[in-house]
Every structure is written in structure tokens, then in C-alpha cells.
Structure 1
Amino acid sequence: MHPRVLFGLVVTCLIALGVTAVLALARPAADRQELADGVISASSPFAGASRGGHPSPAFRLPDQRGRATTLAQLRGRPVILTFLYSTCEDTCPVMARQIAGALDRLDEPVPSIAISVDPEGDTPSSAQRFLNKMRLGDRMRFLLGSREELHPVWRAYGIRPQGDGFEHNAYVVLLDAQGRQQVAFPADKLTDDDLLHDVRVLQARASSNAATTGR
């Protein structure tokens, strides 16, 4: 092949690659934003980031009233799941108030679970005080345990617990009626409107599935 022809082909390929890169960068942020906990897609019915139905880990932990809680007990309805600590004064209260705001507007209530990220600091009484202050009183279970008991749950959900000199990962995860992880919101993306919307999507799916199976 003549050198000039070869040079022309190389230039053409480089131009094509450049155009492709420009078009990729020009896509809406919602189409290309990737989060550690999922992906936001314009084709998704959810406002939050999709977790694609990833299985949820089994656990058995006591809540602030000593009641043993498992995900199997909550099957059949969507579940709001988050990770908090009871002495938090910034991110956790904001997330809790957003959850309370969504629960206030739901026609059909859904189970809500908070899992401790500070096992040494969270106690049954401090957990209940936190829930009461956030208007979540009897509407949320605050699950407690030792670091050894909680670590497998943190790991399965990709959560770093609270520590000296660093903050925990602050997320709200929505599980579907089968207990699968469907949606996640990082704290800075969470609103009660978006959370309400995505819970209603999961409720509608659960109702449709129940009607189809005759349950």
C-alpha cells in the first residue's frame, strides 16, 4: 500500500475515534453516571441507581426492642433499607427525615430497616431515641449487633462502617418483594419524592406479580 494511502487511513481512523469520544461525552449525565452501588439509566423506571436485582444477604439481627429480624419475615412487600448510627448529627438525620417523608405519603406502608454502622455506640435506647426524634418511632426497625455479626452484612452491601477519622457509606437501598436489591440512593442524591416514586414502582410490581400468581 502506498505510504500516502496508509497515512490517509490512519488519519481517518483517528478522526472517527475522536468523534466517538465527543459523542460519548455529550450524552446526558443520567445515561452515563456510574455509582459504586449501581447505574443510573434513562431507560430505567427508577429515579435512583439500579442494582439490577442483586440478591440480598440473609441475616438475623435484633432490633432496638430486642425483636429478631430477618429479611425472610419481610418478603411480599418492598423494603426500605439503610445504614445509620444513632449519634450521627449530619448525614443520618437528613436521610432518616427523607425516609419519614416518603413513608408519610405512601398509601400502603412498607417495612423500613436501619442497620447499625457503629456497633459500639448504638444501643437499644439510643436507637429508639434516634427513631423517635426522626418521626420514625414504630415505622422503622434499627438493627443492632456486634461488629462480628454486622460485618458480613456491611460487606454484602458494600458498606464501610463508621470509624475514627472517616465516615460510613451513606446509602438507602430498596429491596423488591422477593428481597432483591433493586435501587440505591447515595445520601447526596436522596429525596423523599424520588424515594416515594421508586417505592411505588416496586409496590406496583409486587401487586402485578401477586395478581398473576393468584396470591
Structure 2
Amino acid sequence: MKLVLLGIIGLALTVAVAIGAIAQRGGARSAPTLAEGPYRGSEPPAGFELPAFALRDQEGTLIRSGGFRGKAVAVTFLDTQCEETCPIVAGLVADGIAALPVDEADKAVAIAISVDPDEDTPASVRTFLRRNRATEELHYLVAPRATLAPIWRRFQILSSYESGDD
């Protein structure tokens, strides 16, 4: 039950970040509404799967999405330069993972994927996670824009560059 709750919280946070990115984007170009996209909030649509990726986290460890099979995965999208929503999201996700009983903790993982790869360096990510008490619980994945763009599209996320918020 706690894994289901963690999954719901993670998905809800992802939707909140997506809505915030769309709202902050302004009128640059019209974006599809949430009703038009395949994502429906805390319940992923049938057939929705974590896209395949191999990205490095803040410590340089290669994290492969295929390694998460059989686990509950909380996914969020963050920007280390963000000072309002992102610290709250990072803290909530970390608290959710930290609250899991030991026998369930190995069945869950939390990842944050950068939406500002030009600014999210391993050093800035480590500082961000330390400041928001999420160092142990959250793998913050970074890569060049060209590597992250297909992942953003799969999740219908705007990067800081695309939203003009960079």
C-alpha cells in the first residue's frame, strides 16, 4: 500500500511540475491541454512505460531505466536554478522515500530528470540536493539537451530552454 501511495505522490508531483512549466511558459506557442495528451494525472494511461534511458546522476553513477523493473518509480523533473516549486518537490519526494519501511525501501526509487541541462551540473545538483535534504533519496539525472529532449517529449515536459524560463 505504501508503494502505491509513493507512486501516486510521485505521479502527482510530475503533473504539478508539468502544469507549472506550461503555466510559466506563457503564450509563446499553444501547448496541448492535459486532456489532449496521453497522461491522465496520478493514473498513467494503459501501456505507459518508463522510457528507456541511461543517464548519469549527481555522483556520476550510470542509471538505467531498465534497472527499475519491478520497482515503484517516482519521477519528477527539476531545475537547480528554480527557487520556488523545485525545492518543495525535491523535499517531498525525498521525504516519501525516507518514510518507507526498510523492507519496502528497496522496492522503490525516486529520480529527478533535469529540465535545465545547461545549468544543472553535477556540482550544482549536489548543492541543490544537499540544501533540500534529498541527497540520499533522489537520483538527479543530468545529460546534454539532445539526450534529454526525447525523454521530455515522452513525458510531455517542457525544458527551461523551451519554456523561456532559462
Q: Provide the TM-score with structure 2 as the length reference.
A: 0.69
**2:78 matches 1:84:** yes
Give runs of aligned pairs for residues 127-146 of structure 1, distance below 5 A.
127-146=125-144
Give runs of aligned pairs for residues 168-207 of structure 1, distance below 5 A.
none
CA distance in 2, matches of 1:105, 1:56: 24
List runs of 5+ in structure 1 lacking aligned partners: 1-32, 41-47, 169-215
- Counterpart residue number, 1:38: 39
CA distance in 1, matches of 2:66, 2:150: 17
Give the residue type in structure 2 aligned to 1:136: A
CA distance in 1, matches of 2:116, 2:122: 12
- Counterpart residue number, 1:111: 109
User: Equivalent of 1:61, from 31, 47, 55?
Assistant: 55
CA distance in 2, matches of 1:134, 1:90: 12
Shift of 1:37: 5.8
Give runs of aligned pairs for residues 16-27 of structure 1, distance below 5 A.
none
Change (3 A) 1:166 1:37: farther
Q: Which has the larger radius of gyration?
A: 1
Change (3 A) 1:85 1:143: same
- Counterpart residue number, 1:52: 46
Shift of 1:72: 0.9
Give the residue type in structure 2 aligned to 1:80: A
User: Equivalent of 2:89, from 86, 95, 115?
Assistant: 95
CA distance in 1, matches of 2:50, 2:123: 28
- SS of the equivalent of 1:101 reads helix
Shift of 1:145: 0.7
CA distance in 2, matches of 1:134, 1:49: 27
- Counterpart residue number, 2:69: 75
Shift of 1:56: 2.2
Identity of paired residues, percent? 34
- SS of the equivalent of 1:38 reads coil
Shift of 1:140: 1.0
- Counterpart residue number, 1:158: 156
- SS of the equivalent of 1:51 reads coil
- Consecutive aligned runs of 4 or more in structure 1 exceeding 2 Å deviation: 33-40, 48-53, 163-168
- SS of the equivalent of 2:45 reads strand
CA distance in 1, matches of 2:152, 2:160: 11
Shift of 1:128: 0.9
CA distance in 1, matches of 2:132, 2:45: 27
- Counterpart residue number, 1:195: none
CA distance in 1, matches of 2:43, 2:67: 26
Whether the 8 Å contact between 1:35 and 1:49 is mirrored in structure 2 is no
